[in-house]
């Protein structure tokens, strides 16, 4: 009994499904026979903007501007053919028959079925599009030739810092622009800039947010211009600046002379330097050269090139200084010393050393009142033999040696020039073993 009821229910469901299918088939048949045509409406159908094969294409014209690139449309056709149409099944193209040169045109539209189906009573909104035609041109502006410029007026250096425009780098260094030929030909330059004001205390990489086109100094509209990029990166090096003191070092030939008592003046006592490294703030006086005091007399001048340094850049424009030894109130005087006034230091073992000259003559420099109060007895000479190399065969030798002459009690007096004497070196043994006289 239960099995018969279940079989009856299954049979009823099957009949319901079959009936629904038959109804649908019947409705389709009636629609195709009673209503074979239908109206189809589509929205935002894209316009094919191809100029291929047209007179405009042959003349090298391009579409510069168009007021819309899509349309809404409706059309009639066979239900069996167009009922499932979507935007891709319809082609909307330009009727370019009346385009005969550069300019603005209202261009009619042609609507076709992609599949070749017949469609009628076509209604398009809008029925035509407004298009500007012109020849396209391209121009390259560059940093190198000055047609691409960077405006740094909005960038400022913090106090104690400086921005060197010549070291600012822009990337990329060129800008390619394209658009209507007549418009592009008017553009002479482009200026890159920044919105707002920026104060920098260290080197920064910034993004340009303004690009302005110019025609001989006047701003020109860039709505019709395509740019190869809108992204420019600017590296702005920010330098610390300071005055760096300069100095020279006086070299004394003996400890008895106090070089700090010798007056001089420099033509420039400091230079302006810059660096991205803040450590330059800790630099002390830069010694640019050395002066041997034995060359200094009243009126002596010595020049020095200011050396380069990897830690900073000299931006003062000064690359040489002069040390002037005016020595106002100083004078020179000559003195004659005997060989007895010359001391020999560090004599080599096994040798007796003798100064061959009986006298030497030297010129001393010092304050006028001091120099005039001195005589030869106030001076002594020294010869240091610490570096003397004795002959390998222990033989006698003669050499010219430099004598350091100074006034021991007068540290502000020094002797000029390079005083030399001839010295003999005799082995002690040869002096002690001289042959005795023969008795007659």
Does 29 reside within a domain?
A: no
- Examine the domain organization and report whether 415 and 337 are in the same domain: yes
pLDDT at 296 (0 to 100): 97
Does 14 reside within a domain?
A: no
- Is pLDDT of 20 > 90? no
Last residue of a domain, one of 307, 325, 343: 325
- Is pLDDT of 283 > 50? yes
- Examine the domain organization and report whether 207 and 159 are in the same domain: yes
Is the distance from CB of 148 to CB of 192 less than 8 angstroms? Answer: yes
Which residue, chain included where needed, has tokens 């400091």?
A: 270
Does 286 reside within a domain?
A: yes
**Phi and psi based region of residue 279 (left: phi greater than 0; alpha: psi -120 to 50; beta: remaining):** alpha
Last residue of a domain, one of 325, 343, 368: 325
Confidence of residue 376 (pLDDT cuts 50, 70, 90): very high
Domain that holds residue 284: 241-325
Interval 86-140: pLDDT, tens: 999 999 999 999 998 888 999 999 999 999 999 999 999 999 999 999 998 999 9
Q: Kindly report the backbone phi and psi dihedral angles of residue 410, in degrees, each rounded to the nearest multiple of 5, phi listed first.
A: -135, 85
- Examine the domain organization and report whether 259 and 215 are in the same domain: no
Interval 156-202: pLDDT, tens: 999 888 898 989 999 999 999 998 888 899 999 999 999 889 999 99
pLDDT at 433 (0 to 100): 46
Contacts of 418 (CB under 8 A, 6+ apart): 294, 402
| Residue 436, CB-side half-sphere exposure with 13 Å CA sphere | 3
pLDDT at 403 (0 to 100): 95
Cα–Cα distance measured from residue 224 to residue 178, given in angstroms and rounded to the nearest whole number: 9
- Examine the domain organization and report whether 352 and 426 are in the same domain: yes
* Mean pLDDT, residues 341-352: 91
- Is pLDDT of 429 > 80? no
- Examine the domain organization and report whether 69 and 120 are in the same domain: yes
- Examine the domain organization and report whether 357 and 424 are in the same domain: yes
Confidence of residue 440 (pLDDT cuts 50, 70, 90): very low
- Examine the domain organization and report whether 221 and 262 are in the same domain: no
- Is pLDDT of 294 > 70? yes
Which helix H or strand E contains 430, and what residues bound it? helix 428-432
- Is pLDDT of 437 > 60? no
Domain total of the chain: 4
CATH number at 164 reads: 2.170.120
- Is pLDDT of 1 > 60? no
More confident residue, 428 or 328: 328
CATH number at 368 reads: 2.170.120.30
Most confident region among 16-20, 349-353, 417-421 by mean pLDDT: 417-421
- Examine the domain organization and report whether 160 and 222 are in the same domain: yes
- Examine the domain organization and report whether 58 and 96 are in the same domain: yes
Last residue of a domain, one of 236, 271, 292: 236
Interval 28-86: pLDDT, tens: 665 556 567 889 999 999 999 999 999 999 988 999 889 999 999 999 999 888 989 99
Confidence of residue 16 (pLDDT cuts 50, 70, 90): confident
Average pLDDT, the chain: 90
Does 1 reside within a domain?
A: no
- Examine the domain organization and report whether 222 and 282 are in the same domain: no
CATH number at 313 reads: 2.170.120.40
Cα–Cα distance measured from residue 255 to residue 412, given in angstroms and rounded to the nearest whole number: 12
- Examine the domain organization and report whether 180 and 248 are in the same domain: no
- Examine the domain organization and report whether 291 and 349 are in the same domain: no
């Amino acid at each position: 009994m239960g099995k018969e009821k279940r079989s009856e229910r299954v049979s009823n469901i099957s009949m319901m499904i079959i009936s629904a299918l038959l109804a649908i088939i019947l409705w389709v048949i009636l629609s195709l026979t009673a209503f074979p045509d239908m109206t189809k409406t589509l929205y935002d159908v894209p316009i094919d903007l191809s100029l291929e094969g047209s007179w405009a294409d042959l003349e090298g014209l391009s579409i510069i501007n168009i007021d819309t690139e899509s349309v809404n449309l409706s059309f009639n056709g066979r239900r069996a053919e167009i009922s499932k149409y979507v935007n891709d099944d319809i082609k909307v193209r330009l009727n370019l028959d009346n385009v005969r040169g550069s300019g603005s045109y209202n261009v009619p539209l042609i609507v076709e079925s992609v599949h070749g189906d017949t469609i009628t009573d076509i209604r398009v909104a809008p029925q035509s599009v407004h298009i500007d035609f012109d020849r396209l041109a391209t121009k390259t502006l560059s940093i190198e030739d000055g047609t691409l410029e960077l405006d740094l007026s909005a960038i400022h250096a913090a106090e104690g810092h400086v921005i060197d425009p010549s070291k600012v780098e822009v990337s990329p260094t060129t800008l390619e622009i394209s658009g209507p030929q007549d418009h592009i030909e008017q553009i002479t330059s482009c200026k890159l800039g920044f919105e707002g004001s920026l104060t920098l205390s260290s080197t920064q990489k910034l993004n340009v947010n303004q690009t302005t086109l110019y025609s001989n100094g006047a701003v020109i509209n860039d709505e019709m211009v395509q740019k190869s990029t809108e992204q420019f990166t600017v590296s702005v090096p920010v330098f610390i600046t300071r005055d760096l003191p300069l100095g020279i070092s006086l070299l004394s030939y003996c400890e008895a002379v106090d070089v700090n008592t010798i007056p001089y003046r420099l033509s420039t006592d400091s230079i302006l330097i810059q660096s991205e490294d803040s450590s330059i703030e800790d630099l002390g006086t830069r010694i640019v050269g050395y002066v041997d005091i034995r060359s200094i007399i009243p009126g002596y001048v010595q020049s020095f090139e200011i050396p380069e340094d990897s830690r900073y850049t000299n931006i003062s424009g000064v690359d040489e200084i002069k040390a002037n030894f005016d020595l106002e109130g100083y004078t020179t005087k000559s003195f004659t010393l005997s060989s007895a006034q010359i001391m020999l230091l560090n004599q080599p073992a096994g040798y007796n050393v003798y100064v061959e000259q009986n006298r030497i003559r030297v010129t001393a420099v010092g304050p006028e009142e001091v120099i005039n109060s001195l005589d030869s007895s106030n001076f002594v000479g020294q010869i240091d033999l610490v570096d003397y190399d004795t002959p390998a065969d222990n033989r006698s030798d003669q050499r010219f040696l430099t004598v350091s002459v100074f006034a021991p009690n007068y540290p502000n007096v020094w002797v000029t020039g390079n005083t030399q004497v001839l010295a003999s070196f005799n082995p002690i043994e040869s002096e002690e073993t001289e042959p005795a006289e023969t008795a007659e």
